[in-house]
Amino acid sequence: MFEFQKLCNAVEKLTVTERAALMADKAAAVVGGLRALDMNGTDPVETLAAFILGSVIADGSISDKDLLNVYPALTEALGEACDIAGIDKKLKVSKDVQKLVKSYTAELLAVLGAADEQLAGDIVMLCLLVTSVDGKVSLKEQRYIKQLCAG
């Protein structure tokens, strides 16, 4: 699809203003594209939000700091239609978080199977933009998001 590491490096170098502008642009394209897919039994926008939260907990846990960093970006990117707080509760309450995250990953990979290459690239970029709100994309986040490139 593209050279993933170069994309990660480019995203990390963005200023806060550049990141916000690009995130708004990609979010509009992604949400519109996902809504157009009409996936039976799957809300692709909620699935994407869950996948992005999964990238934050790629190390097996989610701290309040992690959630505070990513929550505003997710809300801005995906809008109020997505129940981000509900997804977070599921992740915090679940005794088997990794299994739940794998489920969201499988769902998003199925969504990507129905998407064209442009939409798939925009989804990967949006994931990187949201996870880089702290100015970096950790190796664990990179490995987690890179799953989308292999799917």
Instruction: Return d(Cα 88, Cα 68) in angstroms, integer.
Output: 11
Q: What is the CA radius of gyration of the chain?
A: 14
Per-residue pLDDT tens digits for 2-31 = 589 999 999 999 998 898 889 888 888 888
* All structural domains of the chain with their residue ranges: 4-150
Is residue 82 classed exposed, middle or buried when 0-12, 13-18 and 19+ CB atoms within 10 A define those classes?
buried
Q: Residues 108-138: pLDDT tens digits?
A: 888 888 888 898 889 889 888 888 877 888 8
